[in-house]
């Protein structure tokens, strides 16, 4: 039986859909898992007597990104900001990955948080009043959340936990 060889690019499409709850569904699309053979260095295929070695994405590159063909990942309002800031840039900077919907996702994210620490001395104690500023609006850290606020809850919790290690007698509104 004779056969020929060819090469072709293998690309990955990632689709991001946002909803009104500031959450996102991320889908790995159009990846021909049924016809691929995974080798140690490349993906391969066989179609009508032609062996195809795919260039571009490799099994190792997908593994390093933590992606699997056909995956559907869901991010809640609490975790979508972390995905957008820590993981999404890795996808967007890869040559053989196309991301759609990232602009819509970025539009629902809170602006960058800037933390303000005000120190005061009262009754032989040093107090730390912690605020967070998003754009022109200031809030007390980890308090008074509203559904329409674009705030990074996870980041505020992490800052509050760090502050509490140094200022253990912190009380709300002091």
Instruction: Based on the fold, state whether residues 98 and 132 are members of the same structural domain.
Output: no
Are 128 and 163 a contacting pair, CB within 8 Å?
Answer: yes
In 3D space, the residue among 144, 126, 125 whose CA is nearest the CA of residue 134 turns out to be 144
CA atoms 135, 137, 143, 144: torsion sign: negative
In 3D space, the residue among 43, 16, 39, 45 whose CA is nearest the CA of residue 28 turns out to be 16
Rounded to two decimals, what is the model's pTM? 0.64
Distances (CA, A) of 92 to 27, 76, 86, 105: 14, 21, 11, 13
Number of domains in the chain: 2
Instruction: Based on the fold, state whether residues 91 and 134 are members of the same structural domain.
Output: no
45 in any annotated domain: yes
108, 126, 143 - which closes a domain: 108
92, 108, 124 - which closes a domain: 108
Quick: pLDDT tens for 39-57: 888 888 888 888 888 888 8
- Mean pLDDT over the full length of the chain: 82
87, 108, 129 - which closes a domain: 108
| Residue matched to tokens 């609490």 | 78
Gap between the Cα atoms of 123 and 64, Å rounded: 54
Instruction: Based on the fold, state whether residues 102 and 139 are members of the same structural domain.
Output: no
In 3D space, the residue among 121, 119, 132 whose CA is nearest the CA of residue 160 turns out to be 132
Domain containing residue 62: 4-108
Instruction: Based on the fold, state whether residues 123 and 86 are members of the same structural domain.
Output: no
Quick: pLDDT tens for 138-153: 888 887 776 556 788 7
Instruction: Based on the fold, state whether residues 102 and 135 are members of the same structural domain.
Output: no
């Amino acid at each position: 039986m004779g056969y020929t060889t060819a090469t072709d690019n293998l690309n990955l499409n990632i689709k991001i859909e946002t909803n009104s709850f500031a959450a996102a569904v991320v889908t790995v699309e159009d990846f021909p898992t049924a016809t691929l053979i995974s080798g140690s260095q490349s993906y391969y295929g066989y179609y009508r007597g032609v062996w195809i070695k795919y260039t571009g994405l490799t099994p190792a590159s997908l593994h390093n990104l933590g992606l699997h063909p056909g995956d559907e990942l869901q991010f809640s309002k609490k975790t979508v900001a972390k995905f957008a800031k820590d993981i999404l840039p890795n996808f967007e900077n890869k040559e053989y990955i196309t991301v759609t919907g990232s602009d819509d996702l970025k539009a629902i994210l809170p602006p960058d948080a800037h933390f303000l620490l005000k120190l005061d001395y009262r009754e032989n104690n040093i107090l730390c009043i912690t605020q967070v500023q998003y754009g022109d609006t200031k809030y007390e850290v980890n308090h008074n959340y509203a559904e329409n606020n674009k705030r990074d809850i996870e980041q505020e919790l992490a800052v509050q936990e760090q502050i509490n290690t140094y200022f253990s007698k912190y009380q709300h509104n002091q």
